[in-house]
A and B are shown apart, each in its own frame.
Chain A
Amino acid sequence: MNQAHLEDIPPEFDGDYPIRVRGLVNRFEDHVVHDGVDLDVRRGEIIGVVGGSGTGKSVLMRSIIGLQLPAEGSIEVLGRSITDARDDEDIDIRSQWGVLFQGGALFSTLTVAENVEVPLREFYPEITDDLRHEIARYKVLLSGLPANATNKYPSELSGGMKKRAGLARALALDPELLFLDEPTAGLDPIGAAAFDDLIRSLQETLGLTVFLITHDLDTLYAICDRVAVLADKKVIAVGTIPELLALDHPWIQEYFNGPRGRAAQDAQGRDANHVVPARAAEGLEQD
């Protein structure tokens, strides 16, 4: 056993804010995407990030997970600075997070089970083959795929199954943090609702902190504890949906009170039998 390897696992993080973003500036050539983004993500919450197309939701996520070096600002994840870690080797907190990319980003030459095993092999080579196979198997089943999907290649899977397989890989290391980029985009409404339930139940069972980018209003209402709104190159507001509805920002109003927003609101009101968001919205409209 390589004892040196056993040491480079970071200790458990016990702060209140697993993700802290301060004064983040991202620009591509002359095009400024973020100009002073501040965001704190609380431990154990599901935070939804919304914003129009091109407001830099994915860029924000890529910055937080160290794929995009920001022009200015600082980002702390699980108490470690991402922005100061120049070298890839420095960011060993990678074992503490899982990322689900928009298209699944599965390794196309590996089966679903092998995809899940990749992070396990990478970070914990001491795990025996038997245990690793077992882990891959239950992770795949836990993400709602049938057992016979484990041997399939990504090209043999449907879009929804790819997302689930991607989620299984993201969960491979039992991470504290889960990043999801539009997890329900491209799924049918039933599949999307099931995926929402899955994320919620995994979050509750495993105690995850979830950073979720979405355009799906139903997802926002159904599972997000708080919502961060990206607009005007900043995070203009963070809060629960009723809190956001009380704000007088044109984009937020348009977003949540547009025809789709209302439909999602109504659906949620019927489901959960609470009328707080609806009443808040009415109050604002009378103003």
Chain B
Amino acid sequence: MRALAEFSIEPSDSGGGTLVFSGPMVVSSLGVIDTKLRAISEPVSEIDVSAVERMDTVGAWTVWRLSQQLDAKIVNCREEAERLIEAISKTDDNRESVRAPRLPLLTRVPDEVGTIVIGLAKGWLQVVGFLGQVVIAAGMMLRHPRRFRGKALVHQMELVGVNALGIVGLMSFLVGIVIAQQGAVQLQQFGAEIYTVNLVGRLTLRELGILMTAIMVAGRSGSAFAAQLGTMKLTEEVDAMRTIGVSPTEALVIPRIAATMVMLPLLGIYSSFLGIIGGAVLASLALGIPFFTFLSRIQEVVPLHDVFVGLVKGPVFGLIVAVAGCYQGMQVKTNAEEVGGRTTSAVVMAIFMVIVLDAVFAIFFTKIGWG
């Protein structure tokens, strides 16, 4: 059992009582009696600590605070204890609150809502500013092509594209199977299973291939950009670059954006192909359509402009994902929690924008006759 501090108040001749402490007065023994000590209302003129076995700074603080609170004298103090109390008393010159004041609920809610709204508005302004910065840096690179960082670009292309082949391929293959299977179940009701080919081919090439890839890349690489750049900001690596005369936009942001814009359409086409293969595998196993018949039917039923639709969307989605990641990363200023928050925002912002733009694209391409 842990030894606890004890106290008692004994009456003395001089009128005020004596507060007598016993047992150890240390951090582990005082928490339990603190409330009672604060509630003492009897008059006390002396605090006797002669029976105290051990005292640390928490004990010293408690004794000192009580002596102030009760206007009492500390007596029978051993030398070490006296030294401690003296050291502690020096810190007690002004008693301002440790905590920041908390606004009342009625003002706090509008205050926070207002902060969020202003933050959102500022955020959009900053995104546009960031985009402008990127465009200027890209323009500079066109004028001075030597400054383009080919090595960084290739490295990022590997991280964003090549390393994603496995997971994107698996996902697309399985989604292809699901579309073919679900489509076939519905189309069978009209005896039109053969249209499964149209369904799989057009859906993957036009929409799903590129959309799913964009979402996957946002989750894989967009988040990585934000976390990486955010951490580099925290460790002052970005500042170090600036002082050396290397523009962080040129060295960090442009290669990432360029790599994503190049790799996303490629990954999207790859994803569409694997989706079609998935559909073909299912069709040959479950619907009795031979594998290669399925593939040659794809050539007949999918118009070439479906491929272009996917290819046009690719770089745009890539730009959104990479800009969201890099922008959020470069905004990190304070601490590790912000890196986490910014990474989440980067992914959410990227996926949201990608889906909104995908809807816009769908209407646009139909209107221009690429239905």
Residues of A in contact with B (beta carbons under 8 Å apart): 1, 6-7, 9, 12, 95, 108-109, 113, 120, 123-124, 126-128, 130-131, 133-139, 141-142, 147-148, 150-151, 153-155, 171, 173-174, 201, 205-207
* B334 with A155: CB separation less than 8 A: yes
The one of A9, A139, A142, A153 in contact with B28, judged by C-beta atoms closer than 8 angstroms, is: A9
Chain B min CB distance to A205 (Å): 5
Chain B min CB distance to A53 (Å): 20
A109 to B339 Cα, complex, angstroms: 11
* A128 with B34: CB separation less than 8 A: yes
* A150 with B84: CB separation less than 8 A: no
A113 to B100 Cα, complex, angstroms: 11
9 CB contacts below 8 A, A to B, read: A9-B2, A113-B98, A120-B27, A134-B61, A136-B98, A138-B61, A142-B57, A147-B94, A153-B335
With contacts A9-B2, A206-B84 taken as known, whether A174 is within 8 angstroms of B27 at the C-beta atoms is yes
* A131 with B56: CB separation less than 8 A: no
* A1 with B335: CB separation less than 8 A: no
Stretch with Cβ within 8 A of A (4 or more), from B14-22, B85-93, B154-162: B85-93
> CB-nearest residue of chain B relative to A12?
B54
Q: Does B1 contact A (CB under 8 A)?
A: yes
A12 to B24 Cα, complex, angstroms: 11
> Using Cβ atoms and an 8 Å threshold, which residues of chain B touch A130?
34, 38
> Using Cβ atoms and an 8 Å threshold, which residues of chain B touch A153?
334-335
With contacts A124-B27, A141-B91, A173-B27 taken as known, whether A131 is within 8 angstroms of B98 at the C-beta atoms is no
* A127 with B31: CB separation less than 8 A: yes
The one of B56, B65, B337 in contact with A109, judged by C-beta atoms closer than 8 angstroms, is: B337
- List B79-110 residues whose CB lies under 8 Å from chain A: 80, 83-84, 87-88, 91-92, 94, 96, 98-100
* B27 with A205: CB separation less than 8 A: no
Q: Does B138 contact A (CB under 8 A)?
A: no
> Using Cβ atoms and an 8 Å threshold, which residues of chain B touch A126?
31-32
* A6 with B2: CB separation less than 8 A: yes
Determine the main DSSP class of A at the interface with B: helix
Chain A min CB distance to B53 (Å): 9
* B99 with A134: CB separation less than 8 A: no
The one of B100, B333, B337 in contact with A151, judged by C-beta atoms closer than 8 angstroms, is: B100
> Using Cβ atoms and an 8 Å threshold, which residues of chain A touch B98?
113, 133, 136-137, 150-151
Q: A7-B2, A124-B27, A128-B35 are in contact. List 7 more A-B contacts (CB 8 A).
A: A134-B61, A135-B57, A135-B61, A137-B91, A138-B92, A148-B96, A206-B57
> Using Cβ atoms and an 8 Å threshold, which residues of chain A touch B99?
113, 133, 151
With contacts A6-B1, A134-B65 taken as known, whether A205 is within 8 angstroms of B32 at the C-beta atoms is no
> Using Cβ atoms and an 8 Å threshold, which residues of chain A touch B100?
151
Chain B min CB distance to A126 (Å): 4
* A147 with B336: CB separation less than 8 A: no
Chain B min CB distance to A152 (Å): 10
> Using Cβ atoms and an 8 Å threshold, which residues of chain A touch B83?
205
Q: Does B141 contact A (CB under 8 A)?
A: no
> Using Cβ atoms and an 8 Å threshold, which residues of chain A touch B62?
131
Q: Does B30 contact A (CB under 8 A)?
A: yes
* A131 with B30: CB separation less than 8 A: yes
A58 to B94 Cα, complex, angstroms: 39
Q: Does B26 contact A (CB under 8 A)?
A: yes
Q: Does B58 contact A (CB under 8 A)?
A: yes
A32 to B38 Cα, complex, angstroms: 56
> Using Cβ atoms and an 8 Å threshold, which residues of chain A touch B57?
135, 138-139, 142, 171, 174, 206
- List B1-50 residues whose CB lies under 8 Å from chain A: 1-2, 4, 26-28, 30-32, 34-35, 38
> Using Cβ atoms and an 8 Å threshold, which residues of chain B touch A95?
28
A43 to B160 Cα, complex, angstroms: 57
